[in-house]
Amino acid sequence: MTISSTTRKAGPFTGTGVQTIFPFTFKVFAAADLLAVQAVTATGVETTKVLTTDYTVALNADQNASPGGSLTMLVAPPAGTTLTLTSQVANTQTTDLTNGGGFYPKVINDALDRLTILSQQLAEKISRALLVTISSGSDPAALIASLFAASATASAQASSASSSATAASTSAAAASASQTAAAGSAATATTQATTATTQAATATTQATNAAGSATTAATQASNASTSATTATTQASNASTSATAAAGSATTATTQAGNASTSATNAATSATNAAGSATSAATNAAITNAAIAVPQNSQSAAYTLVIGDAGKHLFHPAADTTARTWTIPANASVAFVIGTAITFINQNGGGAITIAITTDTMRLAPAGTTGSRTLAANGMASAVKVTATEWLISGVGLT
């Protein structure tokens, strides 16, 4: 018989976890000639199944008239797998014809069929191979090597792209954190500005009250002075009347009594004036306390903190050692723009070096930058004019 079909493969069949019988239509000589391969769809990993251990084969009785048969899996291939069938006829020639010996035509047909099957098995394998064109001068081995090299390059580039994406994500996260920190600093600055405005309004009101009290005290003191002058004049008139008219003693005595009463009133007015003056002094003291510049006394090397905003740093005379006081970088202590800080070195104190970390400090009006030295009896003020720049000036400052 002839082999009229070129098919030498059945499948791939998709696993369902239920189907166990799989047909094939190509000629084989025995069940062992069948090859069954199961593959995992997701990974492409293949497993060659074993006759009787994994499956059985039922061949059609007449492989010439009705080639093929069916394969029955002992365990149904699960979902996510495939099953492919082909033949694995050995590459051998088993027909031996002897001189003068007799043989049937079937012997020749089977031998020719075996050769055809071997050719079909080879053709099926070649159909899955990487081929160059017939006119190509490329070496297949070199072509495969170049493909692997290209794959490795692509993999490296993909890894680099992934690293770049990770770095970009990290940068975005850092930018978000910086934005959040800036928002927090802005909120703090707003709160501090509101507090300063409130304190300034309170100080203004107290100063106005103190001025009013002082005016009242001055008026009362003037009235007391006038009353005392009147009493003195009346007493003088009474004395004159007594001298001029001894007979009018009773009248003089009455006028003296009136003068005494007026003097008492004058004393009361003076007492009231003294009380008003005391109230005015108290209010003035309260006003001075509200607007006083707080002091931070330091007798060692010192780095400013956010709480030093609006204060004066004081170096006492008792510390005769030279010290360094440092304004930190905006990145570590974010003083708000407009912050003013005063530096005072008392008589006899060691020299103070005023330094700054990474940011810029300019000397007014020269505009030169760098650390400054404050001598004893020196006083300097530094104002933050931008996020990373301070302007400093004063006496005894070099």
In this prediction, what percent of the chain has a pLDDT beyond 90? Answer: 48
> 36 near 54, Cβ under 8 Å?
yes
Token pair listed for 319: 């510390």
How far is residue 329's CA from residue 340's CA, in Å, rounded to a whole number?
A: 16
184-197 mean pLDDT: 72
User: Could you tell me the pLDDT band of residue 202, with boundaries at 50, 70 and 90?
Assistant: confident
> 111 near 57, Cβ under 8 Å?
no
Q: Which residues pair with 356 in a beta bridge?
A: 327
Sheet (strand 69-73) strand order:
21-24, 69-73, 55-59
User: Could you tell me the pLDDT band of residue 220, with boundaries at 50, 70 and 90?
Assistant: low
pTM for this prediction: 0.38
Mean residue pLDDT across the chain: 82
Reported as a single tens digit per residue, the pLDDT across 254-265 is: 543 563 564 466
Reported as a single tens digit per residue, the pLDDT across 3-12 is: 888 899 999 9
The per-residue pLDDT for 95 is: 85
Reported as a single tens digit per residue, the pLDDT across 295-323 is: 999 999 999 999 999 999 999 999 999 99
99-124 mean pLDDT: 85
150-156 mean pLDDT: 89
223-228 mean pLDDT: 57
> 66 near 60, Cβ under 8 Å?
yes
User: Domain locations in the chain?
Assistant: 9-126, 201-291, 295-397
The per-residue pLDDT for 12 is: 97
Range of weakest confidence among 77-86, 95-104, 146-155, 386-395: 95-104
Reported as a single tens digit per residue, the pLDDT across 346-358 is: 999 999 999 999 9
Architecture, CATH, for domain 295-397? Sandwich (2.60)
